[in-house]
Amino acid sequence: MLKGNFKLGTLREYSQSEGGGLMSDHAEGRGETAIVGDIFNQSYTDHGGNRITVGASTQNKYSAVSQINIDACLFCSSKGKYDSKRHADLINGVGDYQANHGIPAFLEIDVSRFQKALALLASTTFAARCLQRDQDIRYSSRVAEYAPSGIQEVMSARHQARWALEIAFTKPERFSVEQEYRFALIPVGRACEALFTSRMKRRVRDAFRAAIHSEGSASP
């Protein structure tokens, strides 16, 4: 990485490659919008453009559920300066967070320079036809609950697309020890695949190398 060789994995890759136990998050990139309570003869247009009328009573919590999937090219970091306690917690495990020995060292990166490096990567790889976004991870449920009166709005394509973006930046509470800040590139009109800057032009690698603020630490 000190040479500018970074990898951006995908939500799909991470959800399929993680092993068992509490470190697993097989629901990365997947979520739901759900209607709580009974629905009686309400109509809405789903994100596929289909007009649907429902009249459902239920003994379950939800009377209607819409599944949402999103994929993105990601770089995951912990926010703030290097923190030896956080590093130790990640390696050794704490509370419901299972020990993760796959992160022996940290780098510190400059966010604004890293954003510029990602923009260059996007223009090189996707001809800039992608959404670039970065933000703190929200540690919460990936199921958004609504009352029956809101079914028309929450099942609309616009709302589903907005919630899909939020899902890309949502993880279960047990991962909060990571204090993750996530960078994402979401290509338009093409599938996501892992990106390796080592396979790209020198100016791309140079941009990522320039984003390194310090070498951080190799041990907590």
Task: Place 22 in a pLDDT band, splitting at 50, 70 and 90.
Answer: very low
Which pLDDT belongs to residue 128? 63
Which pLDDT belongs to residue 120? 95
Among 139, 197, 148, which residue's Cα sits nearest to residue 171? Answer: 139
Confidence (pTM): 0.83
Mean pLDDT (the chain) is: 84
Nearest-10 Cα torsion for 197, 200, 206, 209 = 10
Residue 28 falls in which region: left (phi positive, over 0), alpha (psi -120 to 50) or beta:
beta
Task: Place 7 in a pLDDT band, splitting at 50, 70 and 90.
Answer: very high
- Give 27-72 as a 3 state SS string: CCCEEEEEEECCEEEEEEECCCCCEEEEEECCCCCEEEEEEEECCC
Amino acid identity of 38? D
Q: With beta carbons less than 8 A apart as the criterion, state whether 217 and 24 touch.
A: no
Task: Place 73 in a pLDDT band, splitting at 50, 70 and 90.
Answer: very high
Residue 119 three-state SS: helix
pLDDT at 21 exceeding the cut of 50: no
Task: Place 142 in a pLDDT band, splitting at 50, 70 and 90.
Answer: very high
Residue 69 tokens, joined: 């999937």
Which pLDDT belongs to residue 219? 65
Distance, in Å, from the CA atom of 136 to the CA atom of 199, rounded to the nearest integer, reads: 28
Residue 96 three-state SS: coil
Cβ within 8 Å of residue 219, ≥6 positions away: 87, 104, 105
Query: Comparing 149 with 32, which gets the higher pLDDT?
Result: 32
Query: Comparing 149 with 143, which gets the higher pLDDT?
Result: 143
Distance, in Å, from the CA atom of 220 to the CA atom of 176, rounded to the nearest integer, reads: 18
Distance, in Å, from the CA atom of 95 to the CA atom of 110, rounded to the nearest integer, reads: 30
Least confident of 31-35, 118-122, 184-188, 214-218: 214-218
Percent of the chain whose pLDDT exceeds 70: 81
